[in-house]
Amino acid sequence: MLERFIPAAASYAGDVDQLVWLITFLVGFWFIAAEVMFFWLIFRFRKKDGVKAQYITGKEKHLKQWINVPHGLVLLFDVFIIIAAIRVWVHIKQTLPPADRTVRVTSQQWAWTFQDPGADDSLDTADDVFTTDELHVENNKTYHFRLESKDVLHSFFIPAFRMKQDAVPGRIYTGWFKPTRLGDYDILCAEICGIGHGVMGAKLVVETADQRATWLAAHAPAVDETATDATATDAASTDATSSDSTSAAAGQQ
Amino acid sequence: MANHHDTHDHHDGAHAHHDEGWFKKYFWSTDHKIIGFQYMFTGMLLALLGAFMAYVFRMQLAFPGQAVPGWGVVSPGQYNMLITNHGSIMIFWVAMPVLIAGFGNYIIPLMIGADDMVFPRLNRLSYQLFFVSVLLLIASLVVQNGGFGGAWTAYPPLSANKDFNLTPLGSSLWLGAVAVEFVAFLLGGINFIVTAMNARAPGMKAFDVPIVVWTIVIASILFMASVGPLVAGAVMLLFDQLLGTSFFNPNRGGDPILWQHLFWFFGHPEVYVVLLPAMGIVAEVMTVFARKKLFAYKTVIYTIVATGVLSFFVWAHHQFVAGIDPRMANVFTVTTVLISIPIAEMCFVYIATLYGGSITLSTPMLWALAFMAEFMLGGVTGIYLGSSGADIFFHDTYFVVAHFHYTFFPIAIIAVMSGITYWFPKMFGRHMNDFWGKVHFWGTIIPFNGIFIPLFVLGAAGEHRRIFDYHSFPHLATPELQSLRIIATVSLVVMLAFQPVFLVNYIVSMFRGPKADKNPWKANTLEWTADSPPPHGNWAELPNCYRGPYEYSVEGRELDYWPQNEKA
């Protein structure tokens, strides 16, 4: 249902879509059954001259079945939904498969800053690439993301991945995703964060290993011989660095 | 806000034995009926304000950047202010005062055969505090830097820090208004509970009490038990805003997520606080116009109680992806999905009540049936959001918006309309026009679906909430999705265009409608044994009660109803 509007671009996106289908079948059944019954009763028992309504207390056993049987079935359907929902949840939010690469995602009013580990695949080293409002990831690699916020609540939402997580100032949240489909997708901020909330979007680019190598080469910071890990970490927090790399990224497009 | 002029004319002549001044009678009254009207009219006036806000931001969404007739170009700050206050007004200043305080005050003493509330002066104080909260709310909209725009949930740090929300005065006044309002409802709720427990007519046992009284009393208990944490939280947030404390400030040892727990611990029971009275109104109207005993009265009571108890254990489903321990989501998925059982059971009982009935599709009945038909869609779509795995995607999308409007609109508008059209003859001693009532009904129900079905689709497409213009998001700015937004907005405009039909019908009928007798619907409950409208004190001699409220079409009786006060 969801893939009618947005492609499923992460390994677990299909799980969410299947769960949505399951819920739709189960609750759709009850919804349609109840509405059909409801409208049929209204039609069947509309007022007719000379016909008096029946006196039914609801204590009659054979009539009470009409409530008790659906009651039991709803419980049964609920159990299916709960099991399916928890399975998907545990897979996406409670497990953390080993990472091929880790990125840092920093949100602030009203921009996303992404820190790519660079060629050495290790975060907070001199070759890290900082971008604003654009995240490049390689297809079929498992990514961890470290989600932070500098000011208010934001929410890191990638509809094509079926993934959403709030960024809370003062906390670092580590989550994961594995892109499975090449292309450009939207990153949204799904938590109201002030007057710029409506422009707080970013672009997600899922690309091949070769494309990523080209992108990295074009954006790798000039490596300073004296640079230490510490200075690289400092650079992460300066806006100048990130906006520089944005303009570079824009040029590349 | 001079909102009670409308009611005084025909009260005056008939019941002049209470020779009070006009001001004292309508603004300083301790009569539960007048206080009910005060709440109801204030709520209805604020509904107009809330509806206007919806009109402005829906126009902005359909035609972004263009001047909205009656407002002008909508800025992002204004947009946030409009959605925030639309939400808070419609829930706190429309649904609560009209459904609980308005109907509760008007009908509880009449339905249980009492001459007034147990604490009439507390009741008056309740409305006066509520009125102060309205003034604070209005003030928050017009002060310098504009009204609060941090969403009705007011999550800190955005709501706590003026450097983030840019509305120092607006946010504090808004928060103060919410806190004062809850104190007002707390007083009113205590009054409802005590009155229903102590002031029932002789002979009225617990299971002879009409369902709507049960639902309002249980809703009041839920409110009383859940509102404490929120008022405490509001005071803490107010301290963070004004005194620089750090309850919710992570940089100085606070925790922003604490607020979410305090808010939703109140906020989710609050859904049932307004849902239950709406279900109660629908039960009264359906039984009267189907001429049927309620199917399994006691089952309904048990489901109300079960829903109420369960509603305290579901709040964190609003926070699945908020950064709480992910294991908590499993617990709250179980409780949230399980609450579908008592609610579904209640729906089944209501549907079964129609079986074997003799159904008249009068205006109140149309509204009551529409409540069931529409609310069921709101109910089942909640399952998607309560299921943690699916909520990862749906949280904070328009799917949520569509879902809760399919619950709140039936609650705050459809059930309220059912109640107003049903009790109007009692309230004013005159009938509303049935033809225009039906025009208003269809002119509201059809566009209602036109507004919110497209929003389900937009939510499934990943459209996130509280965005004033989707141009920044390429996958959401497609013409296909934009046309859905336009359908929703056009439907809203059509729906609003039909509302004057109701207002005119209401006001004209109040003065010119055909006179109503005591019991125009041939109903059983005690309020229909009082004069229409009832005088101060309700009855010259208080009624006794001899049976349950739903003895319709009893076999062997000539009449198809059997008033509760009639000796066997």
Taking the domains of chain B in order of start, what are their residue ranges? Answer: 30-529
Closest residue in A to B556 (Cα) is: A55
A101-252 falls under which CATH superfamily?
Answer: Cupredoxins -  blue copper proteins (2.60.40.420)
Q: What is the pLDDT of residue A245?
A: 38
Q: What is the pLDDT of residue B24?
A: 78
**Cβ-contact B71, B58 below 8 angstroms:** no
Most A CBs within 10 Å, among B294, B393, B521, B558, to test the A interface = B393
Residues, chain A = 253
Which stretches does DSSP call E strand in A9-142?
A: 101-108, 111-116, 129-132, 134-138
Q: What is the pLDDT of residue B19?
A: 60
| Summary mean pLDDT of chain B | 93
Contact residues for B284 (Cβ-Cβ < 8 A; gap 6+): B210, B211, B212, B422, B523, B525
Most B CBs within 10 Å, among A43, A110, A153, A206, to test the B interface = A153
Residues B389-447 have pLDDT tens digits of 999 999 999 999 999 999 999 999 999 999 999 999 999 999 999 999 999 999 999 99
Pick the closest to residue A204 from A100, A128, A116 (CA basis).
A116
Contact A5 B461 (CB under 8 A): yes
Asked if the C-beta of A63 comes within 8 angstroms of chain B's C-beta atoms, the answer is yes
Domain spans of chain A?
2-94, 101-252
- Which of helix, strand or coil describes residue A183? strand
DSSP at A224: P
Residues A1-22 have pLDDT tens digits of 788 889 999 999 999 999 999 9
CATH topology (fold) of B30-529: Cytochrome C Oxidase; Chain A (1.20.210)
Asked if the C-beta of A28 comes within 8 angstroms of chain B's C-beta atoms, the answer is yes
Average pLDDT over residues B68-90: 96
Asked if the C-beta of A82 comes within 8 angstroms of chain B's C-beta atoms, the answer is yes
Q: What is the pLDDT of residue A223?
A: 61
Residues of A in contact with B341 (CB under 8 A): 71, 74-75, 78
Closest residue in A to B303 (Cα) is: A71
Residues A55-95 have pLDDT tens digits of 988 888 888 888 889 999 999 999 999 999 999 999 999 99
Sign of CA dihedral B97, B101, B102, B104: positive
What is the Cα–Cα distance from B262 to A241, expressed in whole angstroms? 40
Is residue B158 predicted with pLDDT exceeding 90? Answer: yes
Q: Closest Cα of chain A to B266: distance in Å?
A: 20
Reported ipTM: the value is 0.91
Please name the member of B149, B345, B351 whose beta carbon is closest to the beta carbon of A71. Answer: B345
- Residue with the bigger pLDDT between B347 and B4: it is B347
Average pLDDT over residues B365-383: 96
Q: What is the pLDDT of residue A10?
A: 96
Q: Closest Cα of chain A to B5: distance in Å?
A: 40
Is residue A235 predicted with pLDDT exceeding 60? Answer: no
**What is the count of residue pairs from A and B with beta carbons less than 8 Å apart?**
304
Contact A6 B475 (CB under 8 A): yes
Residues B470-513 have pLDDT tens digits of 999 999 999 999 999 999 999 999 999 999 999 999 999 999 99
Closest residue in A to B153 (Cα) is: A192
Closest residue in B to A108 (Cα) is: B164
Contact residues for A204 (Cβ-Cβ < 8 A; gap 6+): A135, A137, A158, A160, A184, A185, A186, A187
Contact A81 B79 (CB under 8 A): no
Question: Residue B337 corresponds to which tokens in the numbers above?
Answer: 């999905």
Asked if the C-beta of A38 comes within 8 angstroms of chain B's C-beta atoms, the answer is yes
AA identity, residue A129:
V
